[in-house]
Amino acid sequence: MTDLPEPRVLGVATALPPQVVDAERAAATIERLFPDESPERIRALIARSGVEQRHIVPDLEEIVAGADFTARNDRFRPAALELAHEAATRALERAGVAPDEIDVVVDVSCTGLSIPALDVPLAKGVGLRRDVQRVPISLSGCAAGALALGVATRFARAGSRVLVVAAEICSLTLAPGDTSRTNLVASLLFGDGAAACVIAPEGDGPRVTHVGTRLLEDTEDLMGFRYGNEGMRLVLEPELPAALAEQLPDAVRAFLRASGVEAEDLDLHLVHPGGKKILDAYERAFGLPADGLFHSREALRRHGNLSSATILSVLGSALDAGALPAGGRALVIAIGPGLTLEMTRLTGS
């Protein structure tokens, strides 16, 4: 696989809704949503979450009032499309690629249901060709952004220029009246946003040297969504951190060896910030220094968890900061339902 052409990441961009919710406003709102929880406990959870602020589409009073699944899903499509359009346009500009030069668009989302998928109106709005190949990815959760990088890389190796766009409105998935611990965790962590990137067979930018995926053993039921009359209910089982701690290191090391490097050879780790505990576990597993996951932690602090869009946003922030020098080696990894690990190795140009 390493003998195949190595596509380039030409441009990455993030788009966020204008409304910002800081920790104080979040605490006050969550206290109203979870009246049986003590305010002290809620504020302690927020303090430990690693999230200081988030951008969201609906206003806080709308979230507190609640709405049925139909109303919330009706909000999803226009909000996601607006953010996707902004992220895609900016990524194309950064890449120096005209919309009509894109051959494939990979559209990623899991926080709303929409048929046709967002890629149909997005193609028209951005100005893509009418014969652009559209690849919608849904139901892959937080791993989907990294999964899309792998899909895009395979198209680029065959000569196509690919636009990847991930748009998530996580705030609309909070089920009204659900006072479960899982819904509480979701209310602490998730934000809204979109991110996009351009992958091409040639150009200036980091080289994609290897992509891969790993399914972890006996973990199918530990993370996901269940659908019901109230919409989507997040599934996060308490066994998840232990399962990751046990299986993730060997899976990552196997992927890296297949790409010709060891974990100790990496200059940059870009991990989807699914939560502070996941980042802590990853740091311990690979003996990273205190700032070893700076870009992941900074994304969590400033935006919360944007589901599939987060890993693309983390990648963009790292590249903007010049964190991947020429010849440097980076791992991009996201964890999603399955449990699945979606991984991409980059080499700085």
Beta strands in the chain (DSSP E): 8-15, 20-22, 53-55, 104-108, 133-137, 162-169, 192-200, 207-215, 223-228, 231-236, 268-271, 329-336, 340-347
CB 333 within 8 A of CB 341: yes
Q: Is 170 a catalytic residue?
A: no
Token look-up 């599934």 returns 235
Which residues on adjacent β-strands are paired with residue 334? 342
DSSP per residue over 263-311, as a string? GGG-SEEEE--S-HHHHHHHHHHHT--TTTTHHHHHHHHHH-B-TTHHH
- Cβ-contact 55, 191 below 8 angstroms: yes
Structure tokens at 253: 């090391």
Q: Which one of the listed residues 110, 142, 170, 197 is annotated catalytic?
A: 142
Report d(CA 197, CA 195) in Å as an integer: 7
Q: Which pair of tokens denotes residue 308?
A: 């599939």
Residues belonging to the active site: 142
